[in-house]
Amino acid sequence: MTTASFGTFFLPGPTEVRPEVLMAMTKPMIPHRGRDFETLFARIQAGLRSVFRTSRPIFVSTSSATGLMESAVRCAPAGPILAIVNGAFSERFAQLARACDREVDVLDVRWGEVPALDDLEARLRARRYGAVTVVHSETSTGALTDVAAVCALARVHGAACLVDSVTGVGGAPLLFDDWGLDFALTGSQKALALPPGLAFGVASEDHMRHARQAPARGLYFDPVEFEQYAVKNQTPNTPALSLLYALDVQLERVAAEGMEARWARHAAMATRTEAWVRDRAERRGDVVDILAPEGARSPTVSAVTLPPGVRGSDVVAAVAAEGIVVGGGYGKLRDGTFRIGHMGDHTVETLDRCLTACDAALDALTPAVGRG
């Protein structure tokens, strides 16, 4: 296999994994209670700390990202939870909190938009919350929330801030320590461009204090256990060694690129996608647009709104005929949008191939209407 085969898969998760990362998973097993493992895990910890911009220990969970969402909620400070809901994944965060027996109030935001800080402040003034849940990059809509501002506001009102940054971390700036977040998490299969199966998270000292007092923090996703083992460069349970080999190889590449360069590459891909949409609208008179408002667009995923009569699933099928995979609309946006995951190891060059295929697909699906 060569890297020439890379550059056809633009799902907003899982994302395309480079052949050399896949190959790393074929290495033989080692004992997970031993020095070689500790050396490997120490390297992984250091790499992930720079990805999250933190000096805190990183939780490495053998689960998809949802496992650590559950961890965050279970150990959140007592009291009701205010869930900011602006798409399908933030809605799921709210559901998950209810499933963990927490009382949940919802700050409802139109899908595609981001929360207005005034609205958030009004809600935080009206009731004392234990925690706020927020999704950084709403993968169903492509909207990017200013989680630094949300968390600062939550903190002023005595609430912790739990951040789902599943399509944020590794693609959009997230500065855990500087922003004073309480919990942030991601999954391996999004902007870090690894196979699915691992989740990564970090918790503040405050969060850990509450966790130690939480009445039912469970065991598998217990942050106290994660931390106790992480500081010894171990994991509480048998780790998914093959995935850690892949992670190790990928973190080396992430470090070589540098986080600022990585963020800039993702921003350039989002800008390129916007330019294509704008160009197409002008050229063809199509009513295609980026769903999220300017200034609140995710660098990792774009939801493109479609002309009436064209369904997301039609676009996905037509693009697939060109040998490229994109995502359909999600949840209640299933029909009216399709999504391009421009994250992980993609570049403006590989993205251009995808956009060319999208353009051809839309040409086939929409007769040119011109501008009246």
The binding site for ligand PLP (CB under 6 A) comprises 13, 64-66, 89, 135, 139, 164, 166-167, 187, 190
**For residues 51 and 334, what is the distance between their CA atoms, to the nearest angstrom?**
32
- The answer to whether 151 and 131 have CB atoms below 8 angstroms apart is no
For 319, half-sphere exposure in the C-beta direction (CA atoms, 13 angstrom radius) is 26
**For residues 354 and 324, what is the distance between their CA atoms, to the nearest angstrom?**
6
Strands (E), 59-159: 59-61, 81-85, 104-108, 131-135, 137-138, 143-144
Is the CB of 166 or the CB of 211 nearer to ligand PLP? 166
Other C-beta atoms closer than 10 Å to the C-beta of 129 total: 24
**Cis omega (within 30 of 0) for bond into 299:** no
Shortest approach of ligand PLP to residue 224 CB, angstroms? 22
- The answer to whether 104 and 76 have CB atoms below 8 angstroms apart is no
Q: How far is CA 71 from the centre of its chain?
A: 17
Is the CB of 114 or the CB of 318 nearer to ligand PLP? 114
Structure tokens that stand for 34 in this block: 């031993």
Is the CB of 66 or the CB of 305 nearer to ligand PLP? 66
Is the CB of 87 or the CB of 307 nearer to ligand PLP? 87
Other C-beta atoms closer than 10 Å to the C-beta of 54 total: 21
Shortest approach of ligand PLP to residue 132 CB, angstroms? 16
Shortest approach of ligand PLP to residue 231 CB, angstroms? 25
Is the CB of 139 or the CB of 204 nearer to ligand PLP? 139
Is the CB of 72 or the CB of 318 nearer to ligand PLP? 72
Structure tokens that stand for 371 in this block: 């501008």
- The answer to whether 5 and 335 have CB atoms below 8 angstroms apart is no
Is the CB of 90 or the CB of 305 nearer to ligand PLP? 90
Residue written as token pair 């290495």: 27
Shortest approach of ligand PLP to residue 368 CB, angstroms? 34
- The answer to whether 288 and 281 have CB atoms below 8 angstroms apart is yes
Shortest approach of ligand PLP to residue 89 CB, angstroms? 4
Shortest approach of ligand PLP to residue 167 CB, angstroms? 4
Other C-beta atoms closer than 10 Å to the C-beta of 97 total: 25
Q: One-letter amino acid identity for 265?
A: R
**For residues 303 and 341, what is the distance between their CA atoms, to the nearest angstrom?**
9
Is the CB of 280 or the CB of 339 nearer to ligand PLP? 339
Shortest approach of ligand PLP to residue 64 CB, angstroms? 3
Shortest approach of ligand PLP to residue 83 CB, angstroms? 13
